[in-house]
Chain A
Amino acid sequence: MSDKHLIVIEHDNVSIVTTSYCAVLAASKVTSNITALIMAENKEIAHNIGQGITDKVDNIIYIFDNNLKNRIADSYAEGISHIASSLNFTYIWAGSSVFIKETMPRVNARLSGSSMVSDVQEVIDQEVFKKPMWAGDIIATVKISSKIKIITVRPTDFQGTCIVKDKCTVEEVAYEIKADSIKFVNFDKIESDRPSLSEADVVVAGGRGVKSKEGFPDLIFPLADALGAAVGASRAVCDAEWVPNDWQVGQTGKIVAPKLYFAVGISGAIQHVAGMRGSKTIVAINKDAEAPIFQVADYGLVGNAEEIVPELIEKLKK
């Protein structure tokens, strides 16, 4: 029997989360026939989401159910595993995100004959993948030989445009979601006009070197705005509650790989570097010439960020 590939599409009821396209790109390394699974509250929302992917996949399967209104792991896991087992899919791919990290292990537990590899950064062949371990210090080549393979991919390593397909078949599967062990209460969204950290071409990140809670918006925000950049931070300033937690760049926070990364007043702890070492060009500004961040930076400026950053902003504006 030949392999069948299913991509789990994550969305926010309005549009597809870009990490889902990364999963399509990763799967296309080993197959030319891709099925997308779109699960949503109702038909209208589902088909609207589907518009974002009809030219990139060969088939779309829809499931609608009231219980799919919010991204809740047990409900989605039930739907995904139902489709995978009833339609004999042998690969289930998804782009790594908080929601996917919660959902796919549950899919693995529900299916029989499945195993899972998470946060894949490279597809070697049908069974062999590379993934970071030990905070990205070590790259492991991992072989998965189960009948059903569940693969989540690290979005930063699968960037580009998907192959355009000229025909897409659509199927609606009637299925009633029963899982109810987790109840959604609410989502407290942090509003921002800046690009999102995981998707931005330029990231400006600040650390302890900005000196205070007030120093962060005073120095980092204007530089980010001058560059049209997303704002990131070191673990230290997130822990100190100077900025929201989800701005943390690092192995335990977000992994980013923009074209240009500014580390302002960040010393460069191993776990921070693991989250940004994939950036194309890294600029470090730090008063300590011995800071480890200079070991990974392409361009370094040793000095006081409070003097360097305003000068930089002024020159960028010209």
Chain B
Amino acid sequence: MKILVTVKRVADYEARLKIASDSKSIDTSEINMITNPFDEIGVEEALRLKAKFGGEVVVCSVGDKESQQNIRTALAMGADRGILATHENSDYFVNTEYTANILENIVREENPDIIIMGKQAIDTDNHQMSEYLAEKLNMGSASQANTVTVNLEDKSVTVIKESEGGLETVSMTLPCIISTDLRLNEPRYASLPGIMKAKRKKLAIKSVSEMNIDVQNNVTIVKLETQPERQAGSLLENVDELMDKLTNESKSL
């Protein structure tokens, strides 16, 4: 079974973000960069599927050269090889079509049996990629997966998804795309031998400029602003004071 899993390099969710001088991007020079947490869950799920069914886990990323580190981390966790499609077109940051076209190229070359992606990247918070890509590739997709069950005999996948007000179960035929939610699994840490082995694993770097991607940039960032801080209110002495404030000041009751 060939499993393709995508990873995106994003700013650490614990970092204090600073807007760059162009006011259209984040100044990443002094902050820690991590692998999108939903993608790490995707890597873990891919490794578990490989452990059960055998085959190969291919890790793929689209981004700048530094994204090699994030692919190496996935290789250290146990993935078999990596593909990085590099570009410097930061103007396409919120444009789903651009990245999806690059991924579509890679998928058509690799022909995986299953593609696993994070449900959203924690920078753009778009939640569009897996579904857009699935439609382009004419595949089934299931988002916000909580449980994934593959049956290789009839080439089917059953996915329990986190939906509003309950859990929804859908089934699809391979190949298909699954996007992960927080509770699908707990990603493993890379072991020291894993990290040593990862250094020798194959990581192909492709330039997007050679891929013939022609996407008009129809979604662009005009400016970024930091969220206005909520003012800290007052610490109260006791429940009576809280009841008084809620009744007479905020009139919430």
Contact across chains for A116 and B96 when beta carbons are under 8 A apart: yes
Given contacts A138-B227, A281-B252, A300-B236, contact A245 B128 (CB under 8 A): no
- With both beta carbons as reference points, the residue of chain A lying nearest to B179 in the complex is identified as A102
Contact across chains for B132 and A106 when beta carbons are under 8 A apart: yes
Q: Does B205 interact with chain A (Cβ within 8 Å)?
A: no
For window 190-239 of B, CB contacts with A under 8 Å fall at 216, 218-227, 230, 232-236, 238-239
- Tell me the minimal C-beta distance from A77 to chain B in angstroms: 7
Number of interface residues of A (CB under 8 A): 82
Q: Does A99 interact with chain B (Cβ within 8 Å)?
A: yes
Given contacts A260-B252, A299-B236, contact A246 B165 (CB under 8 A): yes
In Å, the complex CA distance between A145 and B95 comes to 12
In Å, the complex CA distance between A235 and B37 comes to 14
Contact across chains for B172 and A183 when beta carbons are under 8 A apart: yes
The proximity string for A residues 286-304 relative to B, scoring 1 for CB distances below 8 Å and 0 otherwise, is 0001000011111111100
Q: Which of B141, B161, B181 counts the most chain A CB atoms within 10 A?
A: B141
- With both beta carbons as reference points, the residue of chain A lying nearest to B134 in the complex is identified as A106
Contact across chains for A74 and B132 when beta carbons are under 8 A apart: no
Contacts of B132 in A (CB 8 A): 105-106, 108-109
- Dominant secondary structure at the B interface: mixed
B interface residue count range (under 10 / 10 to 19 / 20 to 34 / 35 or more): 35 or more
Contact across chains for B222 and A187 when beta carbons are under 8 A apart: no
Given contacts A74-B135, A105-B128, A299-B233, contact A246 B219 (CB under 8 A): no
B130, B169, B253: the one within 8 Å of A188 (CB)? B169
Q: Which of B128, B171, B181, B242 counts the most chain A CB atoms within 10 A?
A: B128
Q: Which of B100, B226, B239 counts the most chain A CB atoms within 10 A?
A: B239
Closest 10 CB pairs between A and B?
A181-B140, A109-B135, A298-B233, A146-B218, A105-B131, A115-B218, A185-B169, A105-B132, A105-B128, A106-B135
Interface residues, chain A, CB within 8 Å of chain B? 72-74, 77, 97-99, 101-106, 108-110, 115-119, 128, 131-146, 181-190, 196, 198, 202, 235, 238-239, 245-246, 251-252, 259-260, 270-271, 277, 280-283, 289, 294-302, 308, 311-312, 315-316
Q: A133-B125, A134-B17, A188-B166 are in contact. List 11 more A-B contacts (CB 8 A).
A: A105-B129, A108-B96, A109-B135, A134-B123, A141-B224, A185-B170, A187-B163, A239-B183, A271-B13, A280-B252, A299-B234
**20 A–B contacts, CB within 8 A, in A order:** A74-B135, A98-B162, A102-B131, A104-B131, A105-B131, A106-B131, A119-B125, A133-B124, A138-B225, A139-B225, A142-B222, A144-B218, A182-B140, A182-B171, A183-B170, A184-B168, A246-B163, A277-B227, A299-B250, A300-B236
